[in-house]
Structure formats: C-alpha cells, structure tokens
Amino acid sequence: MTEYPPFAVTADLVVLTVRADELHVLLVRRGVPPFEGCWALPGGFVGIDEDLPDAAARELAEETGLPEPAGHLEQLGTYGQPARDPRGRVVTVAWLALLPGLPTPVAGSDAAAADWVPVNRLDRARLAFDHGRVLTDGLERARAKLEYTPLATAFCPAEFTVAQLRAVYETVWDTRLDPRNFHRKVTGTPGFVVSVGRNTEGERGRPAQLFRRGPATLLHPPMLRPPA
Amino acid sequence: MTEYPPFAVTADLVVLTVRADELHVLLVRRGVPPFEGCWALPGGFVGIDEDLPDAAARELAEETGLPEPAGHLEQLGTYGQPARDPRGRVVTVAWLALLPGLPTPVAGSDAAAADWVPVNRLDRARLAFDHGRVLTDGLERARAKLEYTPLATAFCPAEFTVAQLRAVYETVWDTRLDPRNFHRKVTGTPGFVVSVGRNTEGERGRPAQLFRRGPATLLHPPMLRPPA
DNA sequence: CGAATAGTGTCTTTTAGACAATATCAC
DNA sequence: GTGATATTGTCTAAAAGACACTATTCG
C-alpha cells in the first residue's frame, strides 16, 4: 500500500438533542493545537482495523458516557479539503446522532470538556476545522428527515406523549404547529406511533396517552414543514 | 502524521443514464487483481493534494470521455469495511452521477473496457469489492431524489419534452404514469420546467412544447412514486 | 380520413389547515 | 368551579388520481 497516497481518517459526530425547548449540539473544547481553545465536534481517528460505523459508535459512547442506548446514528458525509487540517491530509467521515434529552448530564464522560450548546446561540464560523459546515449539513439533514421518517422519536424517551413529540418538531424546525391537527396526523399515520395503553399522571390538564415508536420506517403521508 | 493509521482513499462513481427506456450504469471490466475480470464501478485513488469533489469530477471525465457537460454529481456515502479491499485499508468515497443519454458512445475514454450495463439485467452480487451495495444505495438515492427535486432533468438533454421527462420517471421508477396528470403536475409545479417557446418537429403525433430545467431546487408539491 | 401523440377539463377521493367544541385532570 | 391541556369534530382548500375530451401533426 505504500504506492498510494496516505491519508488519516477520522470520525466526527454531530450529536443533537432537545433540552428545554432548544436544540443542542454536543461540542468539545479543544485542549491542544490546532484550534486550541475552540469548540469542535467530538470525534477521533479511525483505527486501522476498525469499521467506520464502529468508530462512530465508539466515539459516541466515549463522548456521551452512555453505552449507546436509545437514539439514532447515520452517516452524514465525508469532508476532505486538503487544507482542512494543518497537521496533514485528514479526511473525516461525519455522522449524525439524535439522542433523547439526557436526564443525566454528560458527567462521567471521557471528554471532560464536552458540553451541550444551543445551536441557535452558537457562531458556527468559530468552530474548529470545517465543523461549522458539517454542523450546518447535519442540521439540515435532521430537519429534512423529520418530514418523511419517524426520526423525531429518537429525540424522545421510549414512552412519550403526542405533545412531547410535537415539541420536538417545533424545536427542530423552529416553528409552531397546531396541536389538534398534529395529533390527528401523528395518530393517523400508519406505524408512526403505537399507544401503550397508559396515561400520564400528575401533570397539569387532562392526562395524555403514552405512545412508543411504531414499526414504520417511512411516513405515509409525511409530516410537512410549514412553507416559508 | 506518521502517528496516525494510514489509509488509502478512493473515489468511486455510480454513473446512471437512461438509454432505450432502460436505466444503465457505467461499469468497467477489471484488468488486474483483485477481482480481475469482474465488473466494477469506475473510480480511482484520490491524490494527496486533491479535493474530494475534484477527484470525483476527474474520474467522471476520464471514464466518460466527456469534459463534464450537463448532468449532476453528488456525494453518495463512504464505505470502509476493513476487509473490503484485499490490498489493504482502502476507504472509498462514493459519488452519484446522473447524465443525459449520451448520443456519443463511451469511445475515446481512458478506460477502454467501460460500458453501459442495464441495472435490471445485472447481478449486483457479482460486482467487485462492495460495489453491489454501493450501486444499490445509489439507485435508491436517485429514485428518492426524483420525488422532491428536479433531478430527473439531469437525465434529459438541455431541451426536452414533457413526454421525455415522463419517460425518465417511468424508467427510473420502473412504473407507468398517467401522461395527462403528469403533464399537469410538471407544468404546474413552480420552477420545475420553463418553456422555451418552440415545439418539436417531424415527430409522430401532435408536436410537443420544448422545455428547459427551471430554477427550482426543491419541488413543491413533490412528484410522488405510486404506492406499492 | 385514421393513427398517434399532446394537452385541457371535470369529477372524486385524500390530505392539509383553520378552528369550534368537548373531555379530564389539578387546584 | 377555574384553568390547563388532551382529544374529537367540522369545515374549506389544495392536491392526487381516474378518465372524457379536444388539438395538431403525419401518412
């Protein structure tokens, strides 16, 4: 293999979650050059015998401290401009992860400097490397996929109410949705959610049915973002 | 950079076109091991100072013999199982290209063994490396994107009729569409196509208006695949 | 003229979206 | 009861899909 140009390959993660009605991304503060002191996406080098999805899952577990419980992980894209890393020719395979709002904080994780940052109060141009562009692509992917897949449930705990699911859509899309039409649409789309037969207790207002994610992988009909 | 595991990086292409009402993919017959004699996706190693999209465009130009005229090129995904290439650790960034049915054959190209193969009469399991899976992913991406983008026009010449565009949809989706509803939908979707004010001549039947691709990047409303 | 293809009109069903009304809890 | 939230119902507009009909060419 010495006759071929040698590259380093990394796996970087866009990890999104919803906390307190704001969309957050998991970032780490870099402690070493290059971009020392800057926010960056969590990630690291892929092992020479490691498969790409395994590397992404390993990084995700390391950075969140969780043994990868619920949630969703998919490949986002590969970024490899020759000058993107001053240390040499590094190509990064970026991954998009969606997690439920963690009841436990990120404590116990490898990266002590990891933190959840609200995406709407973050200057993406300040991120290390080309991570601003990666984050932008990840956000657009997540927003688009909420339309035609049941992926919004990846932001929710295993059991959730229609109102919680609606809050996910409203937060990720940064819009308001009519609760009554939303309810009819979610419960009317085959396989999106299934009732667990129990209700919430001790909340304000009328108790709400609890649901789990259904078996559908594609939504028919899709949930459409309001135009403009 | 010697402290990081060294990878080779390739750019492989899923190049699709429509000829004679069949969807074709551009394949090359491998002349050297590994997988000597097998069909494979065209591609090659990325230069150490070469950007990833540049490498893809270069390979596309080399294999088709065209200076990348019309058409569409986008990143499909990255494949890097440790054992996918017996020569060593090779990660490939796959690209999806859509081209109009070439009036000129592939002659004059670098790869003398390149050929268009109908995807429906091809055993994907026989392709070299993991190219069967890459092709499957590329086909699904193309089929899905015809729904909500004007990408079907990438399969057409610069000026085309509604019937030609319909033939693209029917071929890629392997289905039949009602010509009358299709016409109303295409011409009624803002920015999908724009009339050039001229008609076809010398064809059978009533002459058809010629259109060009419009400015829209997303279709509202989308063209939906018939269910089941 | 007849065959063939292009394009328009009409009707029915489905879905989106606005919003009234009712249900069931905590207090 | 009052306030809050959940859920159902009703209406209108937009879009999907089936299909009759008209338009324009070639031979």
Q: What angle do CA A96, A101, A103 make, to 5 degrees?
A: 135
Q: Which one has a higher pLDDT value, A192 or B108? A: A192
**Phi, psi (5° rounding) for residue B19?**
-135, 130
> 10-residue block means of pLDDT along chain A (228 residues)?
85 96 95 93 97 96 78 97 96 97 58 84 97 98 96 96 97 97 96 96 94 94 88
Across the range B98-112, mean pLDDT stands at: 65
**Phi, psi (5° rounding) for residue A8?**
-100, 145
The pLDDT mean for chain B works out to 92
Render pLDDT for B9-44 as a digit per residue (tens, 0 to 9): 999 999 999 999 999 999 999 989 899 999 999 999
Contact (CB, 8 A) for A129 and A40:
yes
Across the range B43-58, mean pLDDT stands at: 97
| Gap from A72 CA to chain B (nearest CA, Å) | 17
**pLDDT at residue B227 in the model:** 81
- Protein CA B181 to sugar C1' D17 (Å): 8
Render pLDDT for B111-165 as a digit per residue (tens, 0 to 9): 567 899 999 999 999 999 999 999 999 999 999 999 999 999 999 999 999 999 9
Chain B environment of A140 (Cβ under 8 Å): none
**Residue nearest D7 (alpha carbon to C1'):** A180
Contact (CB, 8 A) for B80 and B129:
no
Q: What angle do CA B74, B6, A91 make, to 5 degrees?
A: 30
CA dihedral over B132, B137, B143, B149, signed as positive or negative: negative
Q: How far is the C-alpha of A96 from the C-alpha of A73, rounded, in Å?
A: 6
**pLDDT at residue A176 in the model:** 95
Facing residues of B44 across strands?
B11
Nucleotides of D under 7 A from a protein CB: 3-9, 14-21, 23-26
Q: Could you tell me which of A52, A58, A40, A49 has the C-alpha nearest to residue A76?
A: A52
Q: What angle do CA B160, B64, B106 make, to 5 degrees?
A: 85
Number of H helices, E strands in chain B: 4, 9
Domains and CATH numbers, chain B: 8-146 (3.90.79.10), 151-213 (1.10.10.10)
- Enter the DSSP assignment of B7: B
- Is pLDDT above 70 for B108? no
**pLDDT at residue B3 in the model:** 79
Q: Say if residue B76 is exposed, middle or buried (CB neighbours under 10 Å; 0-12, 13-18, 19+).
A: buried
Across the range B63-85, mean pLDDT stands at: 89
A84–chain B Cβ distance below 8 A for any pair: no
**pLDDT at residue A81 in the model:** 98
Q: How far is the C-alpha of A81 from the C-alpha of A91, rounded, in Å?
A: 8
A4-23 residues touching B, CB cutoff 8 A: 4-9
